[in-house]
Amino acid sequence: MGRNTRKRRTPLATKAIAASAALALGGGGLIWANFYASAHESNNSGQNQTKAATGQVATIACPDVQQKLTNIPAKAQQGVATELANLDKQITEAYARLASTRQAQTQDANFVQNAIVGPLKEKRAATLDRIRIDIQRVGGQADAAGLQALAACTTQTANQTNAGGQNNGGQQQNGGQQQGGQQQGGQASANPSASASAGAGQNIGGQAGNGPVAADFVDITKVQPNVAAKPQKSGNASTGTFITRCGVNANKNHNTDNVIVAPGVTNGAHHLHDYVGNQKVDAFANNNTLIADQTSCQNQSDLSAYYWPVVRIQDGTQDFDQNAAGGGTEGNVGKILTPVQAQIKYVGSPTSKVTAMPQFLRIITGDAKTTTNGLANANAHWSCTGFENKVQLTTQYPICPQGSNVVRTFAFQSCWDGTNIDSANHRTHVAFADAAGNCANGFKAIPQLTMRLVYKITPPVLQNGQVKNAYAVDGFPEQLHKAATDHDDFIAVFKNNLATKIANCINNGQRCQ
């Protein structure tokens, strides 16, 4: 999707925000420098011009290799997953160096390329070659030239990363998300003047220095309604619902692994997850351990793993992981918020009956790397209680009025290829229905998992181009805590024929739990 560039520009800054502003997180933690220097600084001295030019570099963007891999032999999957995790680690380390060398960047216009981006390319090239070897060693096909073409990374400016208010109609998931049977529209067109007042390009990057910024927030009362009408139901529609009650993670079951995308890799997510349902999910979980473990769900036959990135309030407070990998040492700071409500519901298709979910089906919805990949796979939906049927936001966090709570909703892919419980890029085995609610040829409708998380959050305050008491979703540090990076993960694990019971309930038009 192309960006809408009609956003109003803020006046030219007369002085760059001090590049030396930084936050040291704990003893020996990474230094996350304030890199949101003015992207529009005007001056005459060559030294200041260098400072203005280099100060615009906000983050590093590298091709998402995992998205490109669509066919990995089973025997190579573990090795490739390990190398993909190494690529993420390399980007994290490069981004940390970018954030902690601002002074050097102001003195040398070539510093970022020579000291950060160039060496990163060399590391990535070696890792990509190991991926090729892993695949070819077991008889698979790997395009060496194609892989090496993914080695080079670029830099992005603050303006490029401030997606808030710059994208209209953002949802691009085959006709949009179906939320509980209701077709959701895409990203709201935020009030341009409100975005301008947020001071894009001049914001202090959150408590950790890597976001969020003022342009990442919008007063929801100033956003035009954007939720589309739900698709019409045919005579063959599956109209029932099944609710499973699994709690809000009040017991604080957290880790920074992601067993779907990085099995066997500790801290493979580089950010913290809430877990409900299956209680023993970590990087080393497998199908055998998942089916044997306990669950937080009231229905003890539901051993499914439901997990999502935590939300934190950035008001100066810290949490248990302020000095830990995936937490403060990777720019995920602030007090972790527990949802006040967490609804997990399965719904049907407006055009057909549904097939029971296969055991151990893996689904990831949304994209944790939209700052790099764009919005093609974004499926973040943010709103406020009282506004959910009118406004859904993808690229901005809502500022809710007094008495209204922040709401995150997810609607997972509801079409399955009928064969695979996962795919190499964790996407192609499932898909979204089209705008009319139909699955593509060869795909079967399955119960659509929907989730609604509600948070009680004191409204952030936008003032002088800065945001106070910001909140943000955890993420990869170089993704700058953008709202669009929100995502959700699911592994279907059912006992006592529960998957079939869910499908029958939905197909029969019943309300079950």
pLDDT at site 355: 98
**Strand partners of residue 382:** 393, 408
- pTM listed for this prediction: 0.84
Q: Which whole-number Å values give the CA distances from 277 to 290, 291, 303, in the listed order?
A: 11, 12, 6
Q: How far is CA 76 from the centre of its chain?
A: 26
pLDDT at site 159: 73
pLDDT at site 36: 38
**Strand partners of residue 454:** 341, 407
Q: Dihedral angle at the C-alpha atoms of 450, 456, 458, 464, nearest 10 degrees?
A: -10
Burial class (CB in 10 A: 0-12, 13-18, 19+), 377: buried
pLDDT along the chain (513 residues), means of 10: 35 29 33 36 36 63 93 93 96 94 93 97 98 96 95 88 41 37 36 30 64 95 95 95 98 97 95 98 97 96 98 94 95 97 98 98 97 94 98 98 97 98 96 96 97 97 91 97 98 98 98 96
pLDDT at site 157: 86
Query: Hey, what are 91's tokens?
Result: 């980007």
Burial class (CB in 10 A: 0-12, 13-18, 19+), 25: buried
pLDDT tens digits along 308-349: 999 999 999 999 999 999 999 999 999 999 999 999 999 999
| CB of 319 closer than 8 Å to CB of 274 | no
Q: CA-to-CA distance for 503 and 352, rounded, in angstroms?
A: 12
Query: Hey, what are 119's tokens?
Result: 């060496």
Q: CA-to-CA distance for 500 and 358, rounded, in angstroms?
A: 9
The DSSP string of 109-158 is: TTHIIIIIIHHHHHHHHHHHHHHHHHHHHTT----HHHHHTT---EEEEH
Backbone angles phi, psi at 132, to 5 degrees: -60, -45
Q: Which of 127, 203, 131, 209 is nearest to 165 (CA)?
A: 203
Backbone angles phi, psi at 220, to 5 degrees: -65, -25
| Beta-sheet strand order (sheet of 430-431) | 430-431, 415-416, 444-445
Q: Which whole-number Å values give the CA distances from 322 to 2, 141, 259, 358, in the listed order?
A: 37, 43, 23, 39
Under 8 Å CB-to-CB from 279, ≥6 apart: which residues? 253, 293, 294, 295, 296
pLDDT at site 186: 39
| CB of 188 closer than 8 Å to CB of 176 | no
Greatest CA separation found in the chain? 74
| CB of 226 closer than 8 Å to CB of 388 | no
pLDDT at site 187: 41
pLDDT at site 56: 67
Q: How far is CA 469 from the centre of its chain?
A: 21
